[in-house]
């Protein structure tokens, strides 16, 4: 689902890569591959604010370089790239969550079995010592 939405945003972004205006085309190429953090990195959670702040600052600086007629188009491009980036962040977050849940599951199931076995042994021993030894 998210991959399909990212692919749809990529199709819309391809139109910007073919724009005759060089400044907007370069802007689309530069910001379409903005880093979102890796799914396996701690920076996806902690460093996302820093990445977002730097990303917004770069957009602001690039928009200031454009002439007023190009700024409106740059805002449309920014909305498109921001939606694509948000989808990539969601995909990376879901990937990290799946990995963490798989790790939790691989620890939780054996530990649950050990605790269930210990409870069973405890109940059997309590019955044995409480009733059968009298």
Task: Count the neighbouring beta carbons within 10 Å of the beta carbon of residue 125.
Answer: 10
- Residue 82 is assigned to a structural domain of this protein: yes
- Residue 94 is assigned to a structural domain of this protein: yes
- Residue 105 is assigned to a structural domain of this protein: no
Are the beta carbons of 89 and 35 closer than 8 angstroms?
Answer: no
Q: What is the pLDDT of residue 36?
A: 59
- Residue 95 is assigned to a structural domain of this protein: yes
Q: What is the pLDDT of residue 117?
A: 98
Domain count, the chain: 1
Range of the domain at 8: 2-100
- Residue 130 is assigned to a structural domain of this protein: no
- Residue 61 is assigned to a structural domain of this protein: yes
- Residue 121 is assigned to a structural domain of this protein: no
Q: What is the pLDDT of residue 116?
A: 98
The CA distance from 107 to 95, in Å, is 19
User: Which of 12-16, 53-57, 87-91, 121-125 is modeled with the greatest confidence?
Assistant: 121-125
23, burial (CB in 10 Å: exposed 0-12, middle 13-18, buried 19+): middle
- Residue 127 is assigned to a structural domain of this protein: no
Q: What is the pLDDT of residue 68?
A: 83
Q: CA 75 from chain center: how many Å?
A: 24
How much is the average pLDDT of 84-98?
87
Range from 23-27, 73-77, 89-93 carrying the lowest mean pLDDT: 23-27
């Amino acid at each position: 689902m998210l991959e399909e939405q990212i692919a749809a945003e990529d199709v819309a972004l391809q139109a910007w890569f073919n724009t005759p205006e060089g400044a907007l085309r370069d802007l689309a190429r530069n910001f379409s591959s903005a880093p979102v953090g890796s799914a396996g990195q701690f920076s996806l959670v902690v460093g996302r604010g820093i990445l977002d702040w730097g990303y917004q600052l770069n957009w602001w600086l690039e928009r200031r370089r454009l002439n007023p007629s190009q700024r409106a188009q740059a805002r449309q491009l920014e909305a498109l790239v921001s939606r694509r980036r948000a989808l990539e962040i969601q995909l990376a977050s879901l990937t990290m969550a799946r990995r963490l849940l798989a790790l939790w599951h691989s620890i939780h199931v054996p530990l649950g079995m050990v605790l269930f076995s210990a409870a069973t042994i405890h109940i059997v021993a309590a019955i044995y010592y409480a009733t059968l030894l009298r």
